[in-house]
Amino acid sequence: SQSLAKLRDLPSMPPSLTENFAFFADRGLAEKVDVVAIDYRGGTVNLYFTGFPDELRRPSEVLAMHRAMGMPDPSEQMLRLCEKSFGFYATLSWDSPRIERIAFSVKTQDPLSLPARL
């Protein structure tokens, strides 16, 4: 795992990481970054967390995260899906101070059972 503070201090990281550092740290993610994916063309960076705290999978916490970011509440089906997740990632941008999106990763043998368009 990588330290979020070390990543935040890199000059190549978007300022939105600094803006949202507390969002991640308050949820126990400050030392849990497993993968960093940078899309220079799209102007975004994804921070992937696989060893994230179990409580972040709870519907109440998923709702709280969405609300803290000013995003719409996820459906009940999506909340149930988040409870089964093994990973979580957030997308940040160089063009905006906010967290662009969060996503929860699940494994399935049947992709058509997922509540999303493929």
Structural domain harbouring 48: 4-106
Q: Is residue 8 part of a domain?
A: yes
Which among 2, 94, 9, 89 has a CA at the least distance from the CA of 46? Answer: 89
Q: Is residue 113 part of a domain?
A: no
- What pLDDT, on the 0 to 100 scale, is given for residue 57? 94
Q: Is residue 118 part of a domain?
A: no
Q: How many domains, in total, are found in the chain? A: 1
Q: Is residue 26 part of a domain?
A: yes
Residue 118 confidence class, pLDDT cut points 50, 70, 90? very low
Q: Is residue 63 part of a domain?
A: yes
Q: Is residue 17 part of a domain?
A: yes
pLDDT per residue as tens digits for the range 55-83: 999 999 999 999 999 999 999 989 998 99
Q: Is residue 90 part of a domain?
A: yes
